[in-house]
Amino acid sequence: MSASMFNFINEKYRRDQLIDFMKETLRHSFILNMPTNYGATFRSFEALVEECRSTPAQSKLKQLVPSVGSFHTPLPLEAAFALYDQKYHISQRRHVTPSFNEIRHILNLAQVMALSKSLRMVTFDGDQTLYDDGGNFSADSILCVLLCKVNVLAGSSHSGWH
């Protein structure tokens, strides 16, 4: 069985309830083609995250999505959506809601934006976002070249690995 077929079969087991909740909440704005609501909806998500950070046990988000974990930083979701939309123009689509992966990318972007002033190191894990399961970077991959440049800079100034 191929990796893509395995992932397709097991998709329902790998869903994230927070992203599913966000996708469902955004549906009305996209189906009704109401782009002025997109930013407001992400601002509401941002407020839910902040409330969950300050009072996790009693938060509305925890009630709506019982499986939601802890948030260690604020998430500037409205700004992340605006930046993501600037590049991918998802608000220009008519009647097509953001995909699971697009919402995941917006959450990831918000996390990077929240950490951008204090971030000192980034590590990658093997969740098939950078290369196929069991695969490696090819030596001529642009990502490999860029990571090696960062490694040289980090190796010479902050870390002991080369």
Q: Which residues are catalytic?
A: 125, 127
Task: Report whether 110 contacts 79 (CB < 8 A).
Answer: yes
* Token output for 151: 């490694």
Looking up tokens 């995909």 gives: 99
Side-chain-side CA neighbours of residue 131 (13 Å): 13
Continuous segment of H or E residues that includes residue 149: helix 142-157
Q: Reduced to 3 states, what is the DSSP secondary structure of residue 121?
A: coil
Separation of CA 75 from chain center: 11
- Rounded Cα distance between 136 and 79, Å, is 33
CB atoms within 10 A of CB 45: 24
